[in-house]
Structure 1
Amino acid sequence: MKKSSGQSFGAVSGPVLGLRAALILLVLIAVIPVFVVVIQSSVSEQKNRIERASANMQALANLGAAHQEQLIEGARQMLVAISRAPAIYGDDATECSAYFSDLQRFYPAYTSFGLLDAQGNRLCEQASGKPVVNSGDRYFFRQAVASGDFTIGEYLIGRVSGKSAIAFSLPVNRPDGSLRGVLFAALDLRHADGQLDRMTIPPDSSLLVTDASGIVLASAGTVPGAIGQKLGDSPVLRAVLAGQPSVWRSAEVGDRQFIHALQPVRQSGPQGIFVTAMIASDDVLAGTNQRLQWQLGALAVIAMASAMTAWVFGDRVLAQPIRGLLRKVQAMQRGHLAPDTAPQAGLRELGQLHRSFEDMAQSLASRSVQRDRALAELAAQKKLLESILDSLGEGVMVADTQGHYIHLNAAALRILPGLVEMDSEAEPMTVSTLEYGLLHLDGKTPMQPEERPPARALAGENVENVRYVINGILTGGVAKIIQASARPLRDGHGRIVGSVTAVADVTAEHLAGQRVQEAHTQANEALERRVADRTRELALANKELESFSYSVSHDLRSPLHVIDGFGRALMAAHGHKLDAKGQHYLERIQNGTRQMGHLIDDLLSLAKVSRAEIRRDAVDIGSKAWQLIEQLRNRHPERVVHVEVEDGLLVIADPRLLMVVLHNLIENAWKFTARAAHAEIRVGRTTSEDGEEAWFVADNGAGFDMAYAGKLFQAFQRLHGVDEFEGTGIGLATVQRVIMRHGGRIWADSRPGEGTTFWFTLGGAGAVGGEDSPAEPGNRSPG
């Protein structure tokens, strides 16, 4: 059915701007950046003005503080000069009062001068006949007596003069160092206020001098404060109480924004005097705001004029030619070429567009022929692809993002005949698991919608050879084991537009594999039973061997104890009757029994380490080494041995068995360094030639010939005589047995008279933390 030209071309949804309205909008958009630049420039200028004003207020506060410092320094110098006057130290109060009266004529800014005794009573002042007043409670008096130095008092109202003042005081001592009294001078704050007024300050700014409690001492400028007035709760009071130099903005008077700068007076002492400079923000920004308003008004006038110009000329220059061109396009849409008429007067580009439409109409016909030919080729390729897919033995299912199938080959319908019914569901990806029989491989656990291969592919996952059970509508009620692989389908921009899933019926293959697995499981269970039987037999044999070892030990020890006991008794009872040779024989008998006892102990130790269960844990070799060294030092306090043990020698090994290794190696090092002039023992860590983590115990003792190194770890083999160094020849065999049980190895290097180094590794046990390094000593002890 044909549609009208208005419907086919002109129907649009939603509001559409006309050309002239669009031109006006473009003009306004073009003007907006200018508005933005002007506003940003004004904001930047305001920021700069605020920063300059803040700097000016800081400078003004510093200037005011310097002015107050000069005033305080002048008062201090004045009191120092007065303290040197002879009249202060005499007993003539009349002379003293006359002196103070003369001072007041020279210093009219001060309401009173005087000298107080140690209790605060006035010894003399500038005028006699005034009421007797005690100033012992005044801060300036108490602080001067306590500090012994020049003091600035707090704000006060004179008890005699009734004037607002601040007192300066200085203690005066007699030649013998005792306190003569306290000089004071009370400064009239009206005078200080007048001096502050005479300062040159910027227009519209103010200065405020306060003490540490916020009481106004002097002020100048546009926002004055009354002398003696205490500041209310305000940012200025909070800054004064904080007592630190600062610059800030806040609302003060009538919600006006002010810029403040506070500066403490450095010489004001513990009482503290602060100078605050302030100026209103609207005074700082007045010129900037007025200029911004003028600029914005001028820009608004320019924007309105530009919009009117666009409205008048837009129709003539653009709208009319474009409407003619639109009629030609609508005719082309209906399949008819418009008459070859020249375009109406307008822009040159519109004329070029008119001629381009004629060229486009001619090319459309040829392109239509090419399109039909391409569609025919595409249909042939689609048919060929469907034939290839249908020839495959595996089922291929192509689905869109909603799970509806775009293509199913013949194998897919043969393996899963219920796919057509499933595809008819509104949401195939979320169909009932029980109804369609989608189960995990155990045949019981339902497969959730997001676990199914097509859903996982749509989520962007590549699914490989997933097996699951289907026993429901999809397989026509026949239980099948399906193996599926799935991939997401993506468009040219990488977006997922569907999924492709390949399925195969592997029921027979899976069941055969299960039978093989069951046979394998049965064989493993039989093997495990045999291993358990052999383990029990071995445990029984070990238990019998342990009983035998202890029985042999007891049977061997009993005659040794008898021989040793009777030997000692014979020595005690009849030793004095024996000659030297007889006593030597008795000593040989006792030494032999002790040696045999040690040999039995070492044999039992060797048997224990051979049977003991390995229980690995973190062990600090350094800590264990120091324990053994301390035991040896306690046993042989006469020896001086220099010992070095590296830090961080942490390993994973059996703590009890590793202690056996360290005990034998360190005790050997201690024993064989007995004849060294400067005995040394080192314990550390290094890396072997094979790149293994290795630990070592080294000494500079007797050493041995490496030609006999093959006998070193054999039981009962000794490389030194018993008369040189005691021992049984079992210790190193025990050490090697422990190291081998850890999966490691032990070896030695030695030179006669130069010492011996034993290295060992622990197989699977490695160092815990730390860097591999040769013997860089961490702890040293000279012994």
Structure 2
Amino acid sequence: MVDVSSRSLQVRLLILVFLAFIPALGIFWYANREFRNLQLEAKEDELIRRAEAVATEYQRLITEGELFLGTLSEFDEVRSTRFPTCTEHLARVLQHTDHFTFISVIGMDGYLACGSLTPESALFLGDRAYYVRAMSRQVFSVGEFSLGRVTGKPVLGMALPMGTEGMSAPILATSLDLNVLAIRPLGGTLPEGYTFSVLDPNKRVLVRLPQTGDFSLADSVGAIAGPEFPGPPEGGDAVIVTGTDFDGIERLFAVAELGSATGGTEGYLAIGRTRITLMQEVDEIVRLQLRFLAVGGVVLLALAWALGHFWLARCPPGAEEGEGAG
């Protein structure tokens, strides 16, 4: 039977362990607050990385478009612009690409000479920025974000003169499907809880995802974003800003410009998430840390109780005094 002094010693040992645990608890709570801030910064950095990945893919696709047009321009079937040879050739080529929507040869009068798709009537493309720039500069040129006149899709036009240096000639052009930007860099699908928007410098919406559910009534491709939606970023780096999305919900956005290698800026993109969603993910990580702390504290107290009991069993109070009396 353990006497009162033994129990008292065991209790004092537990109190000592608990008191020693309190400073560690305070340090943990401070570190936990800092850890929460770091986790929030990590989530913001993740948004920025996604936006930068899209901007990088955009530049890569433009470079690919220039090489694509340069290769096509070497074929006699294309340079001749003869119907139906040219049209059939371009149609077959288009079947092997998923990010270009239309391939065309535009005559010096600005009208479509031949294309991968055949419109019902004569199609004038001489007012398109990519055509005007390519014709005036006689070099590969990039146009502006627009809705394709043949396909109706949000596109970026690219054009390459087919003449030799110093000689005017028809323009070979193609249109990059801007919807591809929301697919390739993001792993094929937009993650749940994210919004993705591509806009021109005037904040006209060209691409918007998701297109279903709560967003279908609020989003409209071709509309102008409101003043509370983030505008183009200042400078070339992606930034984090807060703004009100098209559905009226406040979100945290990673905003990055979309510019070509020629130095121009055709528009920008915005990837958004609600701050509540971000904080919920951060809190889940923090709660996991707290569970580890609670388990550690219980284990520590149990060990202290067991060790105290073991110590008292081997060295009961008064044992040494009894031996001295004998």
Normalization by structure 1: what TM-score? Answer: 0.30
The partner residue of 1:248 within 216, 235, 240 is: 240
- Percent identity among equivalent residues? 17
Instruction: State how 1:39-50 maps to structure 2 within 5 Å.
Output: 40-50=30-40
Query: Structure 2: which amino acid aligns with 1:107?
Result: T
How far the C-alpha of 1:53 sits from its partner, in A, is 1.8
Higher helix share: 1
Specify the SS of the correspondent of 1:55. helix
Change (3 A) 1:261 1:188: closer
Q: Deviations over 1:274-332 (max 9, x none)?
A: 3433333322222554657x97xxx9xxxxxxxxxxxxxxxxxxxxxxxxxxxxxxxxx
Change (3 A) 1:44 1:245: same
Q: In the alignment, what sits opposite 1:186?
A: 175
Matched, 1:276 2:253: no
Instruction: State how 1:403-482 maps to structure 2 within 5 Å.
Output: none
How far the C-alpha of 1:183 sits from its partner, in A, is 1.0
Change (3 A) 1:282 1:125: same
Change (3 A) 1:279 1:256: same
Contact 1:246 1:262 in 2 (8 A): yes
Q: In the alignment, what sits opposite 2:67?
A: 77
Contact 2:196 2:210 in 1 (8 A): yes
The partner residue of 1:213 within 193, 198, 202 is: 202
Change (3 A) 1:124 1:260: closer
Query: Structure 2: which amino acid aligns with 1:51?
Result: E
Q: Deviations over 1:696-752 (max 9, x none)?
A: xxxxxxxxxxxxxxxxxxxxxxxxxxxxxxxxxxxxxxxxxxxxxxxxxxxxxxxxx
Contact 2:198 2:205 in 1 (8 A): yes
The partner residue of 1:285 within 255, 279, 285 is: 279
The partner residue of 2:230 within 221, 230, 236 is: 236
How far the C-alpha of 1:77 sits from its partner, in A, is 1.1
Q: In the alignment, what sits opposite 1:766?
A: none
Q: In the alignment, what sits opposite 1:126?
A: 116
Q: Distance in 2 between matches of 1:228 and 1:195?
A: 23
Change (3 A) 1:259 1:43: farther
How far the C-alpha of 1:192 sits from its partner, in A, is 5.0
The partner residue of 2:134 within 117, 139, 144 is: 144
Query: Structure 2: which amino acid aligns with 1:77?
Result: L
Contact 1:197 1:219 in 2 (8 A): no
How many residues matched?
Answer: 264
Contact 1:104 1:110 in 2 (8 A): yes
Q: In the alignment, what sits opposite 1:258?
A: 252
Specify the SS of the correspondent of 1:102. helix
Please, which runs of 5 or more residues in structure 2 have no aligned partner?
1-21, 295-326
Contact 2:111 2:125 in 1 (8 A): yes
Query: Structure 2: which amino acid aligns with 1:237?
Result: G
Query: Structure 2: which amino acid aligns with 1:215?
Result: R
Q: Distance in 2 between matches of 1:193 and 1:255?
A: 21
Q: CA RMSD in A?
A: 3.9
Q: In the alignment, what sits opposite 2:152?
A: 162
Greater RCO (CA < 8 Å, at least 6 residues apart): 2
Please, which runs of 5 or more residues in structure 1 have no aligned partner?
1-31, 300-783
Q: Distance in 2 between matches of 1:150 and 1:186?
A: 13
Change (3 A) 1:96 1:266: closer
Specify the SS of the correspondent of 2:74. coil
Change (3 A) 1:260 1:168: same
Q: In the alignment, what sits opposite 1:744?
A: none
Q: In the alignment, what sits opposite 1:102?
A: 92
